[in-house]
């Protein structure tokens, strides 16, 4: 989606002579892109603009790296299977304070910065919240001057592009590298060999002390790093995001080629390419495929080798590793790194098991992101053994060590011991990656206060009993540079004009806005900003979907991955019920409302895809029914990604955060909306609990069962059918959907979806419906009194500075990583 121009927030006063910058663009276009201005395309200009800003970053990058090396600073390595970074150009311009200079320099060549910015691909190397968190963290670590490296995979195809055909999600390949990637530096010389398969042989160690294991893999690949500079606010520090790409060790098997096997000769090359070609599109659900385990090992092993090499370039051995390095595991996807570091320590650097284990346990930290039992990663032992035979041995050795400790403590019964074991034995034997990460890390953190408590009580209760000091909380955050300064320049300008610039460097200074919450003039300005942002979204929707919207309507927004636990279905059912009430009671004073949805469903997730179709079916019927008189509109915006979020969030009045309590670990969408002055309607789940504490109970609309109540209902005999019978509105809406009112072409389309609610209702839609519906009518009442609404919205913006990822990273730095900030 395109942005229309607004003045940028600058990290520094104007620094460049615009005519020099304009000349530099021409030089770059000519000598590095190879084009004359007269024939340059917009993509060429984009490439030149990025290269010019990248040049500015390089000096600081080299300087940051040298400083860390010379000072012997402790480094943080953030390993993540996903980095949902989105577009980077505005980030870099804005953090270096050269946005307006660049705008003018490009304008001098008749190039519109907003048009080329819209051409930058939205790098979607992630599925949702987990990947976006990694991206916000990279930006905050650079802004807080922490020597950090991100490590991940350079997927050729990021998350699929979503189109909606006849209301259904269609997945198309994402091709973000089509025009090359002007940000990255390929570093062939920094490649490592990564093996799979083969066997392990024991040999007598040279020192004559016992045996040493030698793993001889049968398959080998090269991991080639590609580096992207990540600039912090005001260009303080530039860190690297290092993404690994697989390449063949032998690009062509010449023997095979010469023997006439021309296709077989390229086999290695194809196999390597396949390894890092695609991101698995399942969110909060393990793919369980061999290729996925290969991807996990591939990037973890390359990263650990790189970390060990860098350490040994300065220090004599690896005993000092824990003092100089923390390797942070973003969920269990890189948990195999624990076994890989053990392997390097024992098999390559001659440590015994005890020494290696002592070092590893002090080096890793792990963040858990989900409690959904189906989302916890585990791998079948036979598969693991075949791909990573040496790592399997090491995991058995770690397990033996841990279980010995457990048994000798005498505090655990057999059931508890079974839960602690790294190997699941109740059926097909499997390696539990969560348990490996837990025992291999000195810190295990949850991502909101509630989620952290539930971790202690549920998935990790026995491990928590064994290591009671290990679990800690670090509530997630978002970077305000992207999620306020860049995505909402109008609001940022208003805030600067009102309270000055201090909040640009200390986001909690936003609290000074609290004093203006009742100020009539400020309220008018605040709502004028919201109105302008809404008009911008109205324009985009009209261009993209041909749907006309009323910018004075309440904009009610639910955008996130489509998942049953996130309960888009609850929202849609409420829309159907509202539709029914508007038609049955035309005399009432209904308030115009637009319900926006956006989000992708995993391609194999049947119900999630059906929910997308339902949203579109309901939209079609409601939007074209004249008896609704335009009072309710439903819009599904295709291809949700970071750039879409950047347009929609500043335009939202109401933020839907309505997951079944206990199932959303934190959420970060909730924080972005509140920062941009939307009110939240939500359950007491994830970070919503803390959001309420910060904005105040009177400035948020909370409804529904608590996590504890959900657990109690489930433990008892939950009968959704009886609840439905007692709720006329819910019953009416479910029957309408279930009998095909919105799908006359296929009346049975939603039969199973709806009967699922009658039968088990796993996500407690029926139990929460009436509370949700009343909460929505309460929202209507609040909206009727604009002064009150504005006051509440202003309090939201003023009080959510705490949810900055700067705060989160400060806590990680001081309480986990022990690096100075
Ligand atoms: C913030 C963000 C998310 C996470 O949203 P939740 O509402 O917390 O699930 C997912 N995708 C994108 C593109 C985001 O920007």
The answer, yes or no, to whether residue 4 has pLDDT greater than 50, is: no
Give the separation between CA 169 and CA 160, rounded to whole angstroms. 11
Q: What is the pLDDT of residue 375?
A: 80
- Note whether residue 820 is domain-resident: no
Instruction: Calculate how far, in angstroms, residue 668's C-alpha sits from the geometric centre of ligand 1.
Output: 6
Of 205-219, 233-247, 478-492, the poorest mean pLDDT is in 205-219
Q: What is the pLDDT of residue 794?
A: 98
Q: What is the pLDDT of residue 287?
A: 82
Q: Are residues 457 and 558 in the same domain?
A: no
Whether 106 and 177 share a structural domain: no
The rounded radius of gyration (Å) of the Cα atoms in the chain is: 27
d(CA 619, CA 633): 7
pLDDT of residue 140 exceeding 70, the answer is yes
**Residue from 667, 669, 803 to probe ligand 1 pocket by mutation (most atoms less than 8 Å from CB):** 669
Q: Which atom of ligand 1 is nearest to the CA of 599?
A: 11
Nearest protein CA to atom 6 of ligand 1, as residue: 669
Which tens digit of pLDDT belongs to each residue from 499-530?
999 999 999 999 999 999 999 999 999 999 99
Q: What percent of the chain clears pLDDT 70, i.e. is strictly above it?
A: 98
* Range(s) of the domain holding residue 64: 1-71+91-121
Atom of ligand 1 nearest to the CA of 645: 15
Ligand 1 atom 7, closest CA: 669
Task: Please identify, among 422, 454, 475, the residue that sits at the C-terminal boundary of a domain.
Answer: 475
Please tell me whether residues 193 and 48 are part of one structural domain: no
| CB 573 within 8 Å of CB 730 | yes
Residue 1 has what pLDDT?
A: 46
- Separation of 132 CA from ligand 1 center, angstroms? 7
Which neighbouring-strand residues pair with 373? none
Average pLDDT over residues 414-443: 97
Quick check: is 808 in a domain?
A: no
* Interatomic CA distance for residues 536 and 528, integer angstroms: 12
pLDDT of residue 796: 98
Which of 15-29, 411-425, 575-589 shows the lowest per-residue confidence on average (mean pLDDT)? 15-29
Are residue 646 and residue 756 in the same domain, yes or no?
Answer: yes
* Residue 679 within any structural domain of the chain: yes
264 pLDDT above the threshold of 90: no
Q: Which of 12-26, 94-108, 168-182, 672-686 has the lowest mean pLDDT?
A: 12-26
CA 19 vs CA 26, 102, 108: distances in Å = 11, 10, 8
Q: Is residue 438 part of a domain?
A: yes
Which residues face 473 on adjacent strands?
A: 446
Tell me the backbone φ, ψ of residue 208, rounded to 5 degrees: 75, 10
Residue 434 CA to residue 444 CA, distance in Å, equals: 10
Query: What's the pLDDT score for residue 213?
Result: 96
* The pLDDT of residue 397 is above 80: yes
What's the pLDDT tens digit per position in 554-565?
999 999 999 999
Beta-sheet pairing, 364-367 with 441-446: parallel
In a domain, 785, yes or no: yes
Q: Are 612 and 562 in contact (CB under 8 A)?
A: yes
Residue 2 reports pLDDT greater than 60: no
Q: Are residues 46 and 152 in the same domain?
A: no
The number of distinct structural domains making up the chain is: 3
Choose between 681 and 2: higher pLDDT.
681
pLDDT at 8 over 70: no
Q: Which of 482, 645, 803, 808 to mutate to test the pocket of ligand 1 (most atoms within 8 A of CB)?
A: 645
Q: Do 29 and 52 contact (CB within 8 A), yes or no?
A: no
Which residue has the CA at smallest separation from atom 10 of ligand 1? Answer: 128
CATH of the domain at 436: 3.40.50.2000
pLDDT band at 252 (very low <50, low <70, confident <90, very high): confident
Q: Ligand 1 center to residue 760 CA distance, Å? A: 28
Q: Is 507 exposed, middle or buried (0-12, 13-18, 19+ CB in 10 A)?
A: buried
204 confidence band (pLDDT: 50, 70, 90): confident
User: Longest C-alpha distance within the chain, in Å?
Assistant: 93
Which helix (H) or strand (E) segment holds residue 223: the answer is strand 219-231
pLDDT for residue 27: 95
How much is the mean pLDDT over the chain? 95
- Mean pLDDT, range 329-355, rounded to an integer: 97
50 inside domain = yes
Judgement on whether residues 256 and 189 belong to the same structural domain of the protein: yes
Catalytic residues: 369, 560-561, 566, 668, 672
Structure tokens at 386: 């075949």
Residue 814 lies inside a defined structural domain of this protein:
no
Give CA–CA dist 72/110, Å, rounded: 48
Q: How confident is the model at residue 12 (pLDDT cuts 50, 70, 90)?
A: low
Q: Would you say the pTM of this structure is higher than 0.95?
A: yes
Distance CA 400, CA 422 (A): 9
Q: Which residues pair with 328 in a beta bridge?
A: 78, 365
**Binding pocket residue ranges, ligand 1, CB within 6 Å:** 84, 128-129, 132, 560-561, 641-642, 645, 667-669, 672
Residues 510 and 407 reside in one and the same domain? no
How much is the average pLDDT of 293-305? 98
Binned at pLDDT 50, 70 and 90, residue 19 comes out as: confident
**Atom 4 in ligand 1: which residue has the minimum CA distance?**
129
The residue from 441, 475, 509 where one domain ends is 475
Whether residue 270 lies inside any domain: the answer is: yes
Number of neighbours of residue 220 by Cβ within 10 angstroms: 16
Does 80 share its domain with 67? no
Residues 136 and 259 in one domain: yes
Residues 516 and 432 placed together within one structural domain of the fold: no
End position of a domain, from candidates 425, 445, 475: 475
137 in the same domain as 38: no
pLDDT score at 9: 65
Same domain, 698 and 631: yes
Considering only CA atoms, which residue is closest to atom 1 of ligand 1?
A: 669
Q: Residue 15: its pLDDT value, please? A: 63
């Amino acid at each position: 989606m395109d942005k229309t121009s607004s003045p940028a927030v600058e990290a520094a006063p104007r620094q460049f002579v615009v005519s020099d910058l304009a000349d530099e663009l021409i030089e770059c276009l000519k000598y590095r892109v190879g084009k004359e201005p007269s024939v340059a395309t917009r993509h060429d200009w984009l490439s030149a603009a990025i290269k010019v800003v990248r040049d500015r970053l390089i000096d600081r990058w080299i300087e940051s790296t040298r400083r860390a090396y010379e000072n012997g600073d402790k480094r943080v390595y953030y390993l993540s299977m996903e980095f949902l970074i989105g577009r980077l150009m505005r980030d870099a311009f804005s953090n270096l304070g050269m946005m307006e200079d660049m705008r003018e320099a490009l304008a001098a060549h008749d190039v519109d910065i907003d048009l080329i910015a819209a051409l930058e691909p939205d790098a979607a190397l992630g599925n949702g919240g987990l990947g976006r968190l990694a991206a916000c963290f990279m930006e905050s670590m650079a802004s807080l001057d922490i020597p950090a490296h991100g490590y991940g995979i350079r997927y050729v195809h990021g998350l699929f592009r979503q189109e909606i055909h006849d209301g259904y999600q269609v997945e198309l390949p994402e091709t973000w590298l089509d025009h090359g990637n002007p940000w990255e530096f390929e570093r062939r010389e920094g490649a490592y060999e990564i093996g799979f398969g083969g066997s392990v042989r024991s040999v007598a160690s040279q020192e004559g002390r016992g045996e040493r294991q030698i793993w001889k893999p049968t398959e080998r690949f090269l991991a080639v790093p590609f580096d992207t500079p990540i600039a912090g606010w005001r260009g303080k520090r530039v860190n690297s995001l290092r993404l690994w790409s697989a390449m063949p060790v032998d690009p062509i098997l010449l023997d095979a080629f010469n023997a006439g096997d021309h296709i077989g000769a390229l086999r290695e090359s194809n196999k390597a390419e396949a390894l890092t070609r695609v991101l698995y599109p399942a969110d909060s659900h393990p793919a369980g495929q061999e290729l996925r385990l290969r991807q996990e090992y591939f990037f973890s092993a390359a990263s650990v080798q790189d970390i060990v090499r860098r350490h040994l370039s300065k220090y004599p051995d690896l005993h000092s590793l824990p003092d100089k390095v923390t390797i942070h595991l973003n969920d269990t996807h890189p948990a195999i790194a624990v076994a890989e570091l053990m392997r390097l320590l024992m098999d390559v650097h001659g440590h015994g098991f005890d020494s290696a284990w002592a070092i590893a346990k002090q080096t890793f930290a792990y963040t858990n992101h989900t409690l959904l039992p189906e989302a916890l990663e585990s791998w079948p032992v036979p598969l693991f053994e075949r791909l990573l035979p040496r790592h399997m041995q090491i995991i058995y050795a770690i397990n033996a060590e841990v279980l010995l400790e457990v048994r000798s403590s005498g505090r655990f019964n057999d059931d508890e011991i079974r839960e602690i074991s790294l190997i699941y034995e109740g059926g097909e034997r499997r390696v539990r990656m969560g348990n490996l990460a837990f025992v291999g890390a000195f810190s295990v953190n949850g991502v909101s206060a509630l989620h952290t408590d539930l971790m202690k009580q549920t998935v990790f209760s026995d491990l928590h009993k064994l290591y009671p000091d290990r679990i800690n909380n670090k509530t997630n955050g978002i970077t305000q540079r992207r999620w306020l300064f860049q995505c909402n320049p109008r609001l940022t300008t208003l805030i600067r004009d009102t309270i000055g610039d201090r909040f640009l460097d200390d986001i909690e200074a936003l609290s000074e806005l609290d004093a203006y919450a009742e100020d009539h003039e400020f309220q008018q300005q605040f709502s004028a900003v919201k109105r302008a942002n809404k008009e911008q979204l109205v324009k985009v929707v009209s261009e993209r979907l041909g749907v006309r919207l009323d910018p004075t309507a309440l904009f009610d927004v639910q955008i996130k991955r489509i998942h049953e636990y996130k309960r888009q279905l609850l929202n849609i059912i409420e829309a159907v019920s509202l539709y029914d009430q508007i038609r049955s009671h035309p005399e009432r004073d209904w308030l115009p409302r637009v319900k926006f949805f956006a989000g992708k469903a995993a391609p194999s997730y049947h119900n999630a895809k059906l929910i997308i179709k339902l949203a579109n079916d309901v939209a079609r019927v409601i939007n074209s029914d004249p008896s609704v008189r335009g009072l309710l509109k439903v819009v599904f915006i295709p291809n949700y990604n970071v750039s879409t979020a950047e347009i929609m969030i500043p335009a939202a009045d109401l933020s839907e955060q309505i997951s079944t309590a206990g199932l959303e670990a934190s959420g970060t969408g909730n924080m972005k909306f509140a920062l941009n002055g939307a009110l939240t309607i939500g359950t007491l789940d994830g970070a919503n609990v803390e959001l309420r504490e910060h904005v105040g109970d009177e400035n948020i609309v909370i409804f529904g069962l608590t996590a504890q109540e959900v657990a109690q209902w489930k433990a008892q005999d939950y009968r959704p059918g009886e609840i439905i019978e007692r709720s006329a509105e819910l019953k009416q809406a479910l029957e309408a959907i279930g009998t095909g009112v919105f799908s006359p072409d296929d009346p049975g389309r939603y039969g199973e979806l709806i009967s699922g609610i009658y039968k088990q209702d796993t996500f407690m839609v029926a139990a929460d419906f009436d509370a949700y519906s009343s909460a929505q009518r309460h929202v209507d009442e609040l909206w009727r009194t604009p002064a009150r609404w504005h006051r509440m919205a202003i309090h939201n913006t003023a009080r959510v500075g705490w949810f900055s990822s700067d705060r989160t990273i400060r806590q990680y730095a001081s309480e986990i990583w022990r690096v100075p900030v």
